Structure formats: structure tokens, C-alpha cells
Structure 1
Amino acid sequence: MERLHKGACHCGAIAVELRTPRAPAEQVIGACQCSFCRKHNARTFSDPKSSATLTAREPEQLQLYAFGLSTSEVVICRRCGVYVAMLMTDQGEAWTTLNIDVLDERAAFTRPAEPRDFSAEAVEGRIARRKARWIPTKLVGWPAGR
């Protein structure tokens, strides 16, 4: 049975819909150990059997930030500062790992976050892992060229 979870940044400018086959308490939650995620105390979710939609309700509030190997961009709301997701795009396709705490039902995702360290990955391996493990994602209202 597919489950739909909705959410958004604090001010609502960037909305999220997650469709996933498993119950929230069964989901594996990650805690990336990169400096960005650690500073945000992020709990992230990715599952290639799920699907997500990121909607820029107010595209002018969409802030994308790349660091490290620049193989993906962090999706941040410019107005309220919430870290929404990590986004990778390639040839018109998109994948994300979501900050589970942007979901309205975030408290239902009860498994402890598992630390993950990808600092030893090279560019090619990182891209391949993300395409295999991240959530296939539809972008709605995204500015042209993004």
C-alpha cells in the first residue's frame, strides 16, 4: 500500500510530497556526516522504491547551494532557511534525499538516524550511488535552467 506524506519548509514556499510503500516506523533514516548535514542535525530519507515531488510554490524563495564535489545541490528556502532536500539532476531526471523533518508527520518516522559517511567517494561512485539509492523526484515550479 502506497502512503502519501506531505510537508513543506517553515513558511510554505517549498512543498514536498513523498509517496512510499512502507510505513514511517519501518523507514531507514540516515544521518549524513558531512559538515553541512551535521550543522543542520539533518535526518534524511532516501528509497528508490519511493517517489517525491518538490514544488517551488514561490520560486524566488528557492536557494540552491553546492559544496564539496558539487554533484548535487542543497534545496534551502531563502525566506525561512529550512533545509528541504539534497537534489541531483542529470539529463532531465532528478533524485533527492529528503530532510524527513520537513514532513508534517515527521514524528511518525521513529527509527534512530544511522550515521553515514560518504567522504571517501569519488565523483563517479557518488553519482552512481545516488541514482541507485535516492528518490526519483519530479520538480514543479522550478526556475528555468535548474
Structure 2
Amino acid sequence: MTVHSGGCHCGNIRLSFSSALDPAGLEIRACQCSFCTRHGSRAAADPNGRLSISVENRAKLQIYRFGLRTADYLLCRECGVYVAAIAGGGDDARAIVIVSALDDREQFCREPIPVRYDAESREQRLARRRAAWMPVEIEGI
């Protein structure tokens, strides 16, 4: 597995994305919801990989939920960077990483696929995330 490090601009939130997949071939998704388009989001996940998130100062972490309230979107209150989204909790938590928050983001060069999830029910959305998102480990939240 290759480890791709990253985090927010000020360093309060740190990421470690582990994947055996070549970053140049990894599917990148550009969700077309209003939140993701406003953030210029390019998301990636490897269901066989892993994302580790550590937060130095919990008070500087913004957790945002909207729509069907099926995921927590993690942003830094200090520098404003959107770093990841998490669905579920405990050992069942699954996540996506925002490619722009990775230090080696230029290696993830595949053209993003625009996706729309508006037609999904709550159950369909949760099932898709369980299948397509990756396991996540969180420290400091």
C-alpha cells in the first residue's frame, strides 16, 4: 500500500490515505450538489484502502451535515479546507478523501466524473457508501 498524506492548510486536520491503487488511475468523483460544487470537491475512495484522520484541536473542526444527513463533512474552522466526508460510525464508518487536501494531489490526475445523487433514497445512499467508500480511523474527534 502507498500512503498519501495531507490535511488542511493550517495543519489542524491531518490525513493519511492508504491504497494499493495507482493514483493516476483512481476514479475521482465530482459531486454536483451545491456543497461540493461550491468547494470544487474532487473525491476519491478505495474500498480496499483506508483513511486515517487526526485532529489536533477539536474546537477548530467543523462537522457539517445537510440534505439526507447521512454523512459528516469535515472542514477546518481555522483555514476553511474541506478534507473528507464520513458516513456511519465506529467500526462501520466509511469515508471519502478530498483529493485537493492531499500533499501529492497532482498524482491524482484522472479527469473527475461528475456525479449526481439527488434521486437516491436515504437507504440507497447509505448502501452506496458502504460499498464504495473506504474504512476510516479517526483520532481527536
TM-score greater than 0.5 by the shorter chain = yes
User: Which ranges in structure 1 are unaligned for 5 or more consecutive residues?
Assistant: none
Mapped partners of 1:40, 1:9: distance in 2: 13
Per-residue CA deviation, residues 7-57 of structure 1 (Å, 9 max, x unaligned), is: 010000000000001121111100001110001111100120110101112
Mapped partners of 2:2, 2:90: distance in 1: 28
Report the aligned-residue RMSD: 1.0
Per-residue CA deviation, residues 108-136 of structure 1 (Å, 9 max, x unaligned), is: 11100000111100001100110111011
1:87 Cα shift? Answer: 1.1
Which of structure 1's runs of 4+ aligned residues deviate more than 3 A? none
Q: Indicate the residue corresponding to 1:103 in structure 2.
A: 102
Mapped partners of 2:46, 2:19: distance in 1: 8
Q: How does 1:48-87 map to 2 (within 5 A)?
A: 48-87=47-86
Counting matched residue pairs gives 141
CA contact (8 A) 1:74 1:86 kept: yes
1:83 Cα shift? Answer: 0.5
1:58 Cα shift? Answer: 1.6
Q: Indicate the residue corresponding to 2:14 in structure 1.
A: 15
Per-residue CA deviation, residues 59-89 of structure 1 (Å, 9 max, x unaligned), is: 1111100000001111000100100111112
Which amino acid in structure 2 is aligned with residue 58 of structure 1?
N
Q: TM-score, normalised by structure 2?
A: 0.96
Q: Indicate the residue corresponding to 2:87 in structure 1.
A: 88
Q: Indicate the residue corresponding to 2:127 in structure 1.
A: 128
Mapped partners of 1:91, 1:139: distance in 2: 9
1:90 Cα shift? Answer: 3.3
User: Which ranges in structure 2 are unaligned for 5 or more consecutive residues?
Assistant: none
Would you say 1:39 and 2:49 are equivalent positions? no
Q: TM-score, normalised by structure 1?
A: 0.93
Q: Secondary structure at the match of 1:128?
A: helix
Deviates more, 1:100-109 or 1:88-97: 88-97
1:93 Cα shift? Answer: 2.8
